Structure 1
Amino acid sequence: MDDDHYDFSRRSVLKGAAAAAVLAGTAVALPNVKVPSAQAIPRTGIRRRREVAIFGGGMSGLAAAHELVERGFRVTVYEPAFLGGKARSHDVPGTARGGRLPLPGEHGFRFFPGCYQHVTESMERIPLAGGGNVKDRHLINVETAVIAFDEAGYAPTTAPASIMGFVDHASSIVELDNLRNALTTGLKFVVDVPPQELAYFVTRELIIATSCQERRLGQWEKQSWIQFVKANGKSPAYQRYLAGALTRALVAAKSQTASARTIGQIGLALATSATGLLSQYDAGLVHGGVDRILNAPTTHAWIDPWVAHLRRLGVSFVMGEGVADFQISGGHITGARLQSGASVSADWYVAAMPLDRLRTLLTPALLTADPSLAGVGHLEDDWMVGIQYFLSRRSDLPPGHIAALGTPWALTGLFQARPWGVDFAKTYGDGRVRDCLSIDISDWEKPGIVYRKPAKQCTKREIAREVWAQMSRAMNAGGRRILRDEEIVTWSLDPGVTWSPQIANATPLMVNTAGSYQHRPNAYTTIPNLFIGGDHVRTNIDLATMEGANESGRRAANAILAAADSPARPAPVLPLWELPMLDPIKAEDRKRYRAGLPHFLDV
């Protein structure tokens, strides 16, 4: 096939306003664009090429492989380290005794909010031995949440995540100590955050909810979250908890730099899914689903079955190999060189790797062929890494996430034994461990309370002591010793964090800073046979998450379908659904924005 014929085919696919739509959705920028199916793309009669090389076996790489192999492509995934990427779990080395499994370590506990759609749809298509699928057998609702504050006068409070959560755990929720804590914390919060400031914060979120997409991208994308909620001049509690801590508890993002559009939209999506008013979200206030987790270690419950299923479908996996560079000639990728020196030749190439790895591949030749990829150099990444404490006593708290608001390192956590429904002592380790407290560390740059140093300046042991001290101070603030030093049997920090001799993290994630959307790549490039996957790609959820990575893999697969002139149906790519009752207000805001007027609530 000569280049002229190929270029004509490419132009017929990626043309005019339909260019992004053909790739199964244009993210939040154009939510009402009708997306044509692959069958609607003009056919060219060109011989279809089928070999796909995917570099990276994380969320985006596995998702792309899944969609492509189901549509008849021959797929090979090259992964230098571990399948599953930042979503994987790992066995803690040397901890198994007496026929038990090793203690389960995680990159960080997994969180599947009700607004996640692509990840859960993929789970439904992963069959399990004995029947059923990953979603039905391993994804469970989290029924409560513990809200703790790192400040004197606040007490940790257990709250239901749904009506059924309240019914199932009413005895713990209405228990005297918990009611006292709720009253104490509630009264102090009202005092510390004046009612007018709380109302103002709610109004700011309503502005996001009723803004047209043009304003979100043209105005709110360019502001940081802390600018948008106008924290300057507000009370310290407003700045610390509403403007700051909630942002850090949700994602590894700093309120001073995070895009207001991104933070506002994910907050809106979480709230919308919680209402239960939209059938597209499998969640609601009655039955839950707003917060979901896996009921076993991530790799065991999800990644291993997924990889096994893909192997059965015909996907090949080459482990211990990563791409070193791409060869390019005539504006096309002609081959890839692996880190071992071996060469790979394919029809289509997908760079489905973290941001820091992608940067190393952007050679002058590649940037000449697609100058838009230079924007990748302007994107920023950050750390969000987990540590697990294995404890000799099973927690008696109802199963639920812990948000330790205001902790210097922005900690969130989860006791795993109860929601997993497992007897840890019989299943894992040497018989001494009865529970695991898995904690995510989201801020690695603020000084701690023990060593007065940021996490990035601490040793491994110092990090373990510091995290435990911060979480203990927040959780034990109500007078009850929920966390006890003497109950720690052992702990495990994500092995992706290393000291050699300086601290490094093998798994950073992109953070959505204000104005960064313009620099983020699409899943397709102007190099006709090169595609991009990863949580840094433009997606509807617009956040560095498993969901965003999965969506990007689908977008890359759909771009290949289009470029290959395939008759197969594209992989579903879904928007963040919003309440249709808000559409008339958004339409009015669109008129105001185009006329250069502010949002009617922006006073």
Structure 2
Amino acid sequence: MFEPQPNPTAFGRRELLRGALAGAALTGAALTATPLFGAPASAGEPRRAPALHTGGRTVAILGGGMAGLSAAHELVERGYEVTVYEPDYLGGKARSMGVPNTAAGGRLDLPGEHGFRFFPGCYQHVPDTMARIPFPGNPNGVADNLVRVEGAVAGFRGRPPIFAPVEAGSLDQLTPELLQNSIIGAFSFIPELPPAELAFFAKQMMVWFTSSPERRFGQWEYVTWEQIMHANGKSRAYQDYLVNALTRITVAAKPHLSSARTIGTIGEALVLAATGLIPQFSGGVDRILNRPTNEAWIDPWVDYLGGRGVRFVLGQRATALRLRDGVIGSATVVDSRGVASTVTADWFVCATPVERAVDLLGDEIIDADPRLAGMRELQTDWMVGIQYYLTSPTEIPEGHIAALGTPWALTALRQAPMWVGDFAARYGDGSVRECLSVDISDWDSPGILYNRPAKQCTATEVAAEVWAQLCEWLNTGTDWLRREDIHSWHIDPGITWSGGTTRNATPLLVNTVGSYDHRPDAHCAIPNLFFGGDHVRSHIDLATMESANESGRAAANAILDAADDPAERAAIFPLVALPIFEPAKRIDADRFRAGLPHLLEG
């Protein structure tokens, strides 16, 4: 069967909010969202790109993932001559791919992918780009291929799964106390969770909401999410679900390693998107594409960029940058046969993943800007997908699925019901009616079937283990998952097995404690070298399509700055916060400067 395819709480009112954080002044503020400003100067403000003023218009972008394509988009629309060099596939980790040799009867190959796409309402850069990519019949371009998800399934081991809406519903007003109580209500379904600990969790979220930027960058960046949530001494349910599971399914983040500032940033954005009060977060909490990613987005994007003049050179991996007279004079690219070529341009954008970027820069370039040496300290982890193709649709409600507490931190999505057209008529051999796409976020913890981590399992064992965990977490009181319905499965081809070793060609950055200090800006001391990727500093701060897209825009803007180009800059959208928290943040800034703890932590 498992054959691989080819390629009411115990806390009182006073304890809940300790006087509503200095009183009713917080509740009287307007609800208009305001930008959430970034790092204070002590944490490293972005610097303006060094001016070169060559007048040159040629740009070499090394890497055709989300950051590279985003930079190309902004630059070509401003009249630059752009060439993108990509060794593998355009779209990077965001792409989808056909599973080879699975099509029959004029259908397309079964759709595979690195992992299912998720577009939270707090994303602003990606939807803006999508709206500027034409798509037949769509007035808002590719952006109209986004489908709003209304609910999610939470699975628990040995307990019936729960379906719940993912949005808080329309709110006419919001006070800190109401928000805190909404957080309590949102997680009240978690079994065996002491009410006092749930209230404590909500209170700690309010600590984050009311922390000043100075404290966020000066304190919370240097402690883990596990620490800010005071996990030690709490119940197993608190640790497993509220601290671990909710964090682990957020892009492979480990609560005992991850920066509390990073997890708090995305947590705040998701909570505010759920309130419906932020005009900039208008897409709801959860959206997905209505087709495989390449059909819905990447292919139309590449076609649009090509039509505007972007040149794509595939099968070419950048291996070296040459420094000459203080600027990048050329880059070396190598094809699959090992044949090297020299690339020259006025401007160079290094849009490769961080683990490749470090090797590409080399000691000479890092010596020219020692701040780049921090990239060597950045860490990556694995979050990789597997798709199960089923001959019968499951009865799992539409929406995302979070198997909370699974050893491998599994999340999933039923794709066929939310895609346009008839799945069986469009893909495969006509017998596949469902695609269940699963993300594996923990490759280092032992499973329940083989008692080994995913990194120590074969491909077939990974497929069997993931299925076993899903059944254990979702089939209590249901028969949603039936082994006999499995037609086949497909694991992201970036995972390879050889000589007893499992390798991943597509890891992603994880935001460990203090890692912000090591991340580059989109520009550096070398005046014609720029950076894109999910490791570049951004507002969303997490390794996501959104951060990569923002970094591509920032790189394009830095080129415009360096060239002294008067063209309009690419839009950069900061995250937003509600003004009701600003008085508390001002109090906290004073307390932080005085060396005092947060008011709710004192």
Q: TM-score scaled to structure 2, two decimals? A: 0.87
Match of 2:39 among 17, 29, 32: 29
Match of 1:319 among 282, 296, 314: 314
Could you say if the C-alpha distance between residues 162 and 43 of structure 1 is closer, same or farther in structure 2, counting changes exceeding 3 Å? Answer: closer
Deviation of 1:509 (Å): 0.3
- Aligned residues of 1:27 and 1:539 also touching (Cα < 8 A): no
- Aligned residues of 2:169 and 2:275 also touching (Cα < 8 A): no
Match of 2:57 among 45, 50, 54: 50
Match of 2:150 among 143, 148, 156: 143
Relative to structure 2, which stretch is displaced further, 534-543 or 389-398? Answer: 389-398
Match of 2:287 among 277, 286, 292: 292
Measured in 2, the distance between the counterparts of 1:426 and 1:163 equals: 37
Deviation of 1:163 (Å): 7.8
Could you say if the C-alpha distance between residues 417 and 187 of structure 1 is closer, same or farther in structure 2, counting changes exceeding 3 Å? Answer: closer
Deviation of 1:133 (Å): 3.9
- Aligned residues of 2:51 and 2:561 also touching (Cα < 8 A): no
Measured in 2, the distance between the counterparts of 1:412 and 1:215 equals: 32
Cα RMSD of the aligned pairs, angstroms, is 2.2
Measured in 1, the distance between the counterparts of 2:167 and 2:224 equals: 32
- Aligned residues of 2:104 and 2:428 also touching (Cα < 8 A): yes
Structure 1: 5+ residue stretches without partners: 1-24, 166-182, 284-288
Could you say if the C-alpha distance between residues 487 and 186 of structure 1 is closer, same or farther in structure 2, counting changes exceeding 3 Å? Answer: farther
**Paired positions, count:** 544
Measured in 2, the distance between the counterparts of 1:492 and 1:471 equals: 16
- Aligned residues of 1:382 and 1:511 also touching (Cα < 8 A): yes
**Aligned twin of 1:453:** 452
- Note the 1:100-249 alignment, pairs <5 A: 100-149=107-156, 151-152=157-158, 154-162=159-167, 189=191, 192-249=192-249
SS of residue matched to 1:110: coil
Could you say if the C-alpha distance between residues 195 and 544 of structure 1 is closer, same or farther in structure 2, counting changes exceeding 3 Å? Answer: same
Deviation of 1:363 (Å): 1.2
Could you say if the C-alpha distance between residues 493 and 71 of structure 1 is closer, same or farther in structure 2, counting changes exceeding 3 Å? Answer: same
**Aligned twin of 1:518:** 517
**Aligned twin of 1:282:** 282
Deviation of 1:131 (Å): 4.6
Relative to structure 2, which stretch is displaced further, 382-391 or 137-146? Answer: 137-146
**Aligned twin of 1:348:** 347
Identical pairs, percent: 56
**Aligned twin of 1:307:** 302
**AA of the residue aligned to 2:480:** I
Measured in 1, the distance between the counterparts of 2:498 and 2:314 equals: 24
- Aligned residues of 1:27 and 1:538 also touching (Cα < 8 A): no
Deviation of 1:394 (Å): 1.4
- Aligned residues of 1:142 and 1:419 also touching (Cα < 8 A): no
Measured in 1, the distance between the counterparts of 2:366 and 2:353 equals: 18
Could you say if the C-alpha distance between residues 441 and 42 of structure 1 is closer, same or farther in structure 2, counting changes exceeding 3 Å? Answer: closer
Measured in 2, the distance between the counterparts of 1:272 and 1:218 equals: 24
**AA of the residue aligned to 1:233:** G
**Aligned twin of 2:255:** 255
The one-character-per-residue Cα deviations of 1:318-377 (angstroms, maximum 9, x if unpaired) are: 000011100002221111111231000000000001111112113111111111111011
- Aligned residues of 2:321 and 2:331 also touching (Cα < 8 A): yes
Establish whether residue 68 from structure 1 lines up as the match of residue 66 from structure 2.
Answer: no
The one-character-per-residue Cα deviations of 1:177-205 (angstroms, maximum 9, x if unpaired) are: xxxxxx9x96772xx22111111111111
SS of residue matched to 1:510: strand
**AA of the residue aligned to 1:493:** I
**AA of the residue aligned to 1:294:** L
Deviation of 1:137 (Å): 2.9
**Aligned twin of 1:439:** 438
- Aligned residues of 1:92 and 1:492 also touching (Cα < 8 A): yes
Match of 2:479 among 478, 481, 490: 481
Measured in 1, the distance between the counterparts of 2:51 and 2:412 equals: 52
Measured in 2, the distance between the counterparts of 1:142 and 1:260 equals: 28
Establish whether residue 419 from structure 1 lines up as the match of residue 418 from structure 2.
Answer: yes
Deviation of 1:547 (Å): 0.3
Could you say if the C-alpha distance between residues 354 and 148 of structure 1 is closer, same or farther in structure 2, counting changes exceeding 3 Å? Answer: same
Could you say if the C-alpha distance between residues 371 and 188 of structure 1 is closer, same or farther in structure 2, counting changes exceeding 3 Å? Answer: closer
Measured in 2, the distance between the counterparts of 1:188 and 1:82 equals: 41
Deviation of 1:588 (Å): 1.2
Measured in 2, the distance between the counterparts of 1:28 and 1:557 equals: 20
SS of residue matched to 1:231: coil
**AA of the residue aligned to 1:391:** L
**Aligned twin of 2:181:** none
Could you say if the C-alpha distance between residues 201 and 43 of structure 1 is closer, same or farther in structure 2, counting changes exceeding 3 Å? Answer: closer
Could you say if the C-alpha distance between residues 313 and 187 of structure 1 is closer, same or farther in structure 2, counting changes exceeding 3 Å? Answer: closer
SS of residue matched to 2:386: strand
Measured in 1, the distance between the counterparts of 2:535 and 2:431 equals: 41
Could you say if the C-alpha distance between residues 27 and 467 of structure 1 is closer, same or farther in structure 2, counting changes exceeding 3 Å? Answer: farther
Measured in 2, the distance between the counterparts of 1:415 and 1:466 equals: 19
- Aligned residues of 2:134 and 2:142 also touching (Cα < 8 A): no
Measured in 1, the distance between the counterparts of 2:190 and 2:259 equals: 30
**Aligned twin of 2:24:** none
**Aligned twin of 1:462:** 461
Q: TM-score scaled to structure 1, two decimals? A: 0.87
The one-character-per-residue Cα deviations of 1:204-240 (angstroms, maximum 9, x if unpaired) are: 1111111111100100000011111010011111111
**Aligned twin of 2:576:** 577
SS of residue matched to 1:280: helix
**AA of the residue aligned to 1:234:** K
Measured in 1, the distance between the counterparts of 2:244 and 2:202 equals: 15
Measured in 2, the distance between the counterparts of 1:80 and 1:599 equals: 48
Relative to structure 2, which stretch is displaced further, 83-92 or 325-334? Answer: 325-334
Deviation of 1:596 (Å): 1.1
- Aligned residues of 1:147 and 1:402 also touching (Cα < 8 A): yes
Could you say if the C-alpha distance between residues 43 and 453 of structure 1 is closer, same or farther in structure 2, counting changes exceeding 3 Å? Answer: closer
**AA of the residue aligned to 1:323:** A
Match of 2:99 among 92, 95, 99: 92
Could you say if the C-alpha distance between residues 272 and 102 of structure 1 is closer, same or farther in structure 2, counting changes exceeding 3 Å? Answer: same
Measured in 1, the distance between the counterparts of 2:306 and 2:497 equals: 35
- Aligned residues of 1:539 and 1:551 also touching (Cα < 8 A): yes
